[in-house]
């Protein structure tokens, strides 16, 4: 039974390396700001309640801006008719010189990058928009993959726990130790 337990333990350690999307979200946001020469923005993810976005990263607000974990309505960010609700693929202009760039992977909306264009002078060129949309779609694919990995990881851990339980049930020696 010991070799079996060691194998289970080996699998478990491979799957419990820390999952940290926060750092990656920060990197994505900084890249987007850099790409268009803006200094303030945030990343919002569609997570939890349907129709709401959650602020998962913010840069350049110095305490007066959005708070991580704050929720906003998706409808406030996307100027879309009901027929377009499936897959928004354009940059949306918001009030107060800001834009919302949807993050879409496999025609599914994952979230968006909001950029404050004040103090940058001029609006976004067609090229700026193209760069932002392509960055946003790369980010969306990354985030979806990371979430899948997280789901697979927790599924694996559940399997391992139940296998360990089965080993314990069969072998009085390992009872409660697996």
> Could you read off the pLDDT of 53-106 as tens digits, one per residue?
999 999 998 878 888 889 988 888 886 554 555 457 788 888 778 999 999 988
Q: How far apart are CA 2 and CA 171, in angstroms?
A: 11
Query: What average pLDDT is seen over the chain?
Result: 80
Tokens describing residue 61:
């607000």
| 4 class by beta-carbon count within 10 Å (0-12 exposed, 13-18 middle, 19+ buried) | middle
| The predicted structure's pLDDT at residue 8 | 59
Q: What percent of the chain has pLDDT over 90?
A: 19
Report helix, strand or coil for 162: helix
**Among residues 22, 135, 6, 132, which one has the least CA distance to residue 69?**
22
145 pLDDT band, cuts 50/70/90, is confident
Q: How far apart are CA 121 and CA 128, in angstroms?
A: 13
Q: How far apart are CA 151 and CA 7, in angstroms?
A: 21
| The predicted structure's pLDDT at residue 102 | 93
Mean pLDDT across 19-43: 85
pLDDT digits (tens, 9 = 90+) for 4-24: 566 556 555 554 444 567 778
| The predicted structure's pLDDT at residue 116 | 92
pTM of the full structure? 0.72
Q: What percent of the chain has pLDDT over 70?
A: 79
- Kindly report which listed range (101-105, 147-151, 174-178) carries the lowest average pLDDT score: 174-178
- Kindly report which listed range (3-17, 103-117, 162-176) carries the lowest average pLDDT score: 3-17
What is the dihedral sign for C-alpha 58, 62, 68, 70? negative
Q: Which residues pair with 178 in a beta bridge?
A: none
Q: How far apart are CA 93 and CA 99, in angstroms?
A: 5
| The predicted structure's pLDDT at residue 101 | 93
| The predicted structure's pLDDT at residue 40 | 93
């Amino acid at each position: 039974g010991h070799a079996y337990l060691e194998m289970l333990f080996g699998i478990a350690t491979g799957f419990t390396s820390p999952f940290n999307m926060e750092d990656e979200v920060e990197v994505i946001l900084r890249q987007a700001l850099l790409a268009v020469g803006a200094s303030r923005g945030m990343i919002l993810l569609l997570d939890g309640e349907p129709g709401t976005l959650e602020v998962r990263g913010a840069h350049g607000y110095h305490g007066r801006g959005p708070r991580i974990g704050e929720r906003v309505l998706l409808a406030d960010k996307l100027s879309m008719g009901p027929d377009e609700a499936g897959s928004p693929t354009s940059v949306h202009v918001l009030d107060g010189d800001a834009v919302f760039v949807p993050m879409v992977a496999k025609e599914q909306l994952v979230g968006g990058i909001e950029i404050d264009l004040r103090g940058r002078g001029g609006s976004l060129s067609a090229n700026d928009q193209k760069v932002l949309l392509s960055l946003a779609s790369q980010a969306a694919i990354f985030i979806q993959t990371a979430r899948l990995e997280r789901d697979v990881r927790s599924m694996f851990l559940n399997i391992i726990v139940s296998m360990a339980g089965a080993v314990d049930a069969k072998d009085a020696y390992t009872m409660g130790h697996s």
